[in-house]
Amino acid sequence: MDLIAAININFNPEIFGGSFTLTWHGFFTALGIALGVWLPVRLARRVGFPEDDVFTIALVAVPCGIIGARALWVLEHTNQIQNIGDIFALTDGGISVYGAMIGGALGGFIYVLIWRPHFPRWLALDIAAPGMILGQAVGRLGDTINGEHFAKATDLPWAFRYTNPNTEGPWASIVDGVIPSATTWVRGQTGALAEAPVPVHPVAGGYELILDFAILGVLLLLRRTKLLPGWGFIFYVLSYAAVRGLLALLRSDEQTLIGALSVPQFLAIVTSAAALAMAYYLWRNPPRRPEPVDLARELHREEARERRQGRANSDSAPTADKPARRQRASKAGPGGVRVRKRPDKD
């Protein structure tokens, strides 16, 4: 199998080291977050959604996504956690894309639900979905270079062969258990597997990367239709769940949860069920799709109403004393001097 034709990847996972180390994985993760915010801002302009509010929602959704990404990775790799500090060591270990998706979506949706109740929340989810899948796709470029997410060995011509000794890719065959030869196995045990790397399926940096961009393309096409708000986000959740669940069959580093069911496959089932529940709700309660001008006018009207309500609440306490002041003023004589009334004499 060592002589099988494959796509050789010979990148050092670190862009530069020293006192501050920047990896390709970290670079593309940051770039994915930036583009994941930029695209919804662009889409929001076309429907009259205030850009400032998109940035505000992103300030909540992005940290929630990072927390969810790390939390799910920790739950999947509890055997690698030795103390509390290991939980927060983002540079040691990894993050979960599924956790980022769930945490970011929940964080942003709850924020809109509580602190921006007048916002069209289903339309907000539709605006966020293309940015989320774009961020996921760009982040997979870092996985391609790092050789992470070990996959099963294959002899397909588009297989990836990681040749850089600093990448984790060459260890894929050891994790998979597919050993091409006893010589390769010995070299792998002694840390020299890079001399004879095994071609593997390009799961994260190939298949999922392409499928993520395909989902993005469909989402952008759906925005040109008269699809009611919410259905674009539902398509995103269902399609990514299908991609993630099926590609898990080709990966060899997944933690099993129930029998042969891996954690991502379990989450794919859960998120699909949630998306179908959302679809049933929208089918029974279809939201109105506001035109761009109508949406801007409605948001402006709601904000003005909130400001008036706030002023009314702030003035409610002083107005309670006004009748008493008017009564005292009515008893005052000319010049505001209060005149004491003498009792009548018979």
Model confidence at 177, pLDDT cuts 50, 70, 90, reads very low
What per-residue confidence (pLDDT) applies to 184? 44
Structure tokens at 230: 């919410």
* DSSP symbols for 207-250: IIHHHHHHHHHHHHHHTTTTPPTTHHHHHHHHHHHHHHHHHGGG
Residue of 207, 214, 202 lying closest to 172 (CA atoms)? 202
Task: Collapse the DSSP code of 264 into the 3-class scheme (helix H, G, I; strand E, B; otherwise coil) and give the result.
Answer: helix
Mean pLDDT of the chain: 78
Q: Are 241 and 199 in contact (CB under 8 A)?
A: no
95's torsion region: left (phi>0), alpha (psi -120 to 50) or beta? beta
Tell the burial category of 104 from Cβ atoms under 10 Å away from its Cβ (0-12, 13-18, 19+): buried
Q: Where are the beta strands (DSSP E) in the chain?
A: 7-9, 14-16, 22-23, 160-162, 256-258, 261-262
Predicted structure pTM score: 0.75
Q: For the chain, how many residues are written? A: 346
147's torsion region: left (phi>0), alpha (psi -120 to 50) or beta? left
What per-residue confidence (pLDDT) applies to 281? 95
CB neighbourhood size of 263 (10 A): 20
pLDDT tens for 12-47 read 888 877 777 788 888 999 999 999 999 999 999 888
Model confidence at 81, pLDDT cuts 50, 70, 90, reads confident
Structure tokens at 312: 């009314």
Question: CA dihedral in degrees (67, 41, 306, 317; nearest 10)?
Answer: 50
pLDDT tens for 98-121 read 899 999 999 999 998 898 887 888
pLDDT tens for 252-283 read 766 666 777 888 899 999 999 999 999 999 99
